[in-house]
Structure 1
Amino acid sequence: MKLIHTADWHLGQTFHGQERHAEHKAFLAWLLETLVAREADALLVAGDVFDVVNPSLRAQELLYDFIVTAHERLPALDVVLIAGNHDSGNRIELPAPLMRRLRTHALGRVSWLEDGNLDAERLLVPLTDARGETRAWCLALPFLRPAEVTGVGRVRPDDDEDNDRNDYVAGITRVHERLIEAARARREPGQALVAMSHAHLRGATVSEASERPIVIGGEESISAGLFPTDIAYVALGHLHRAQQVGETRIRYSGSPLPLDFSEVAYPHQVVEAVLEGEALAGVEAIPVPRPVAMHRIGPGDLDTVLAELEALEADPSLPRERWPWLEVRVSLSAPVPDLRARVEAAFEGHALRLLRLERRLPRVDGESAPERIDLEQLGPRKLFALTWEARWGEPPADDVMTDFDRLLQEVLDRPEEEGA
């Protein structure tokens, strides 16, 4: 049977204040056509379906429209969704009874039976082939929050060996182990086991800027050894860089779109995994076309950056929602008060959207933490002059101080009710 593994859609994400609805819509349209063209038997979405716990109605509409259309196009397709750390587990599960009628299984949280055992049955999803025969079992583990897996109520007498381990990681480990035990007991000969988890595996490569730590201090990382060799494929979510962890069968699909400019150079993909009997027969990375281009200019001096901007080309026939995103990083040796205006002038008339302008300021030799200053005695004019000198290594010129005096006077002359 054929599985398509994806994760970290982050539907509803705003990018430096700009919505990405058109990009997400284009990705889901492409994904649907890919599922049809490849005659997929199952789609696994390994968490962070939404970007925030309270997604917009438009973001939710994208997801549910996709599920309905996928069922119309591929009536035998099994879809399994788990909640990630960005998602609300309750929200993911809320429409679950309706989605099951569309062969979609939404798992947002784990639950425990009265005897203290994991309710594993609800996390085991049968995956069927085109003939409707169960060919694999998906062990669907949503993101595990500390309150769900730690505490006395989650520990049994046979767990003493975990007492000296991080309680949260030990809890995650127990849940994985018990679910695997239940899956082994449930499956029949010839049926494969497929694990899906939203977690940080030790040794995996994190993104430069955009991933939110699951637990402060990074104590949440777990070992890939949690997934024994009788699990044919491990579909992971949370890390945005596509990668395998140690073995071909243990993989992060990565996010289908760059979620930050630091991710522009990453390969963005979904993964096709083919199972034969109980084993993994093959894995293929399928590149996701980028619906909106992203350009990083710099870092460089102002003249170099402006020249790069002027050389950028963009298709003027594109609708505005498909104009490329732009990040500009300028290294300054002296203040440039009209920097943004000069940057925008360099690509004026081009179909580009400036999202982020980063000024990289010089470091003054011997720069250290400022001394404690009494602001009341110093006054705004002297404070401004000292701050300027600390930043640029020289006192402000007369024309700069003249501009400051003019602005200060405008503030002082403003009526009280206007400044309230």
Structure 2
Amino acid sequence: MRILHTSDWHLGQALHHYDRSYEHQCFLDWLVDQVVEQDADALLVAGDVFDNANPPASAQKQLYQFLQRLHTRAPRLDVVIIAGNHDSPARLEAPGPLLELHNARVVGAPVRTAGGEIDIERMLVPLHDRTGAVAAWCIAIPFLRPGDVPRADTGAEGDPYLNGIALLYRQAFDLAMQRRTSGQAIVAMGHCHMLEGQSSVDSERRIVIGGTEALPATIFDPCVAYAALGHLHLAQRVGRQEHLRYSGSPLPMSFSEVNYQHQVLRVDLEGPKAVAVDALPVPRCVQLLRVPEHPAPVEEALAALEALALDDCEPHRQPYLEVRVLLERPEPGLRARIEAAIKGKPVRLAKIEPVRKATVAGAAGPAMSLDELAQLQPDDIFRRLYQDRFGEAAPPDQLSAFHELMGEAAP
């Protein structure tokens, strides 16, 4: 059978206040086409469907329209969706009975039975091949919070949260082993940060619970044919193992991802094993530009902006622009000068990234005692910070502006 693995859609996300519904719609339209062209049997969405726990109605409508169109064009397709750390488990699961009419199973959070035990059964989803027979069992584990995991043996060593996650995966795997018959594969889904996983700068919310973040690859039994992971936006293998994968996000979530090749993963199973994992590159319908490519002095950056030549296009297709400027001192009128340089160009100014020149090491002087810190006034702190950042004394106009600001902030 054939599976498509994707995650971290972040529907409803705005990039520096610019709405991205057009980009998300382009991706969802492309994904429907891929499901049909690749003759997929199942689609796994490994969390962070929405960008936050209270997504706009337009983002929720995008999801439901996508699932409706998907079912119309690929009526036998199994869809499995788990909640990520950005999602509201209850909101994601709320339309579950209706979504199941479209062969979509949603798992937002573990549910406990009347006896207080986690209902493992509802996190086990059968996946069918093109003949309609069960070809694989999917262990669908959403993002787990401390209250979601079973209590491991109190005598066990290590972090109790990590131990609880490992126990839950083991319980789900054991149940899958009981359900499977000869020739059927076991596929795992998870939304988590794995050890040695490479994060995307500026665009991922850290998962830190009680000092614990990264999980070992050993939580997946060697008999698991494939693990479809979500959370990290950069597509990557876990522990250099071909069958443990992050699909990555389909859209760049920040300018740090401008050079990422975003993708969806195609996984082919034969019997109980994954025999091929291939990337399907996601077309980028709106470009991200960093000008200059590396931080440059103000005049050089402005010259690069003025020389920028772009084809005309509709406003929703105009590239997002990050301007990278190397500063020696504050430039109060910088934004106005940048806006003048790009006036009339089909581009959207999303971000100005000021980079300060490094100051001489040790210029900050010796560390201060707590008593000395307590005696500092706000303008003393401002002078020290300015000196540390720019390597020179704060000019009178900056001190005057600071004093004016402090006066307005005073009750």
TM-score for both structures, normalised by structure 1: 0.87
Number of positions where the alignment pairs a residue of Structure 1 with one of Structure 2: 399
Q: For 1:281-303, what per-residue CA distance to the aligned partner results, in whole angstroms no more than 9, with x for missing partners?
A: 21110100111100122312123
Is 1:269 matched with 2:263? yes
1:367 pairs with 2:352? no
Structure 1 position 168 matched with structure 2 position 161: yes
Structure 2 match to 1:97: 97
Q: Is 2:232 the counterpart of 1:244?
A: no
Counterpart position of 2:182 = 189
1:231 aligns with 2:220: no
- 2:251 is aligned, of 228, 232, 257, to 257
Cα distance in 2 for residues equivalent to 1:404 and 1:124: 62
Aligned to 2:316: 321
Give the direction of change, closer, same or farther, for the CA distance of 1:367–1:279 in structure 2 (3 Å limit). same
Aligned to 2:337: 342
| Deviates further, 211-220 or 362-371 | 362-371
How far is the alpha carbon of 1:114 from its aligned partner? 4.3
- What's 1:125 paired with? 125
- Distance apart, 1:35 and its partner CA: 0.8
C-alpha separation between the residues in 2 aligned to 1:123 and 1:2?
21
Tell me if structure 2 keeps the 8 A contact 1:309–1:347.
yes
Inter-CA distance 110–394: structure 2 relative to 1 (3 Å threshold): closer
Cα pair distance change 1:212/1:388, threshold 3 Å: closer
CA drift at 1:50: 0.5
Q: Please name the residue that 2:139 is paired with.
A: 139
Counterpart for residue 19 of structure 1: 19
TM-score, normalised on structure 2?
0.89
Amino acid at match of 2:76: A
Deviation of residue 264 (structure 1)?
A: 1.3
Partner of 2:69: 69
Question: 1:216/1:262 Cα in 2 relative to 1: closer, same or farther (>3 Å)?
Answer: farther
Note closer, same or farther for the CA distance 1:385–1:249 as it changes in structure 2 (3 Å cut).
Answer: closer
Give the AA of the match of 1:198: H
User: 2-side partners of 1:130 and 1:395: how far apart?
Assistant: 72
Q: Distance in 2 between matches of 1:311 and 1:24?
A: 30
* Counterpart secondary structure, 2:29: helix
The residue aligned with 1:358 is 353
Q: What pairs with 1:107-118 in structure 2 (closer than 5 Å)?
A: 107-115=107-115, 117-118=117-118
Answer whether contact 1:194 1:233 (CA < 8 A) is retained.
Answer: yes
Distance in 2 (CA, whole Å) between partners of 1:115 and 1:10 is: 36
* Cα distance, 1:391 vs structure 2: 5.2
Q: Radius of gyration: which is bigger?
A: 1
Q: CA deviation at 1:130?
A: 2.0
2:196 corresponds in structure 1 to 203
Q: Deviations over 1:309-351 (max 9, x none)?
A: 23333221x2111111111121112333321122222222211
Partner of 1:300: 296
Aligned in 2, Cα 1:274/1:394: closer, same or farther, shift over 3 Å?
A: closer
Q: 1:385 to 1:135 in 2, by over 3 A?
A: closer
Rounded to whole Å, the distance in 1 between the matches of 2:226 and 2:385 is 57
Structure 1 match to 2:2: 2
Do the aligned residues in 2 keep the contact of 1:118 with 1:178 (CA within 8 Å)?
no
Which one-letter code corresponds to 1:280 in the other structure?
Answer: A
- What code does the residue aligned with 1:200 have? H
- Give 3-state SS (helix, strand or coil) of 1:367's partner: coil
Amino acid at match of 1:102: H
RMSD of aligned residue pairs (Cα, Å)? 2.7
Matched letter for residue 354 of structure 2: R
Cα deviation, 1:343-373, whole Å, max 9, x if unaligned, reads 2222222111111112223444413589643
Pairwise CA distance, 1:244 = 0.8
Unaligned runs of 5+ in 1: none
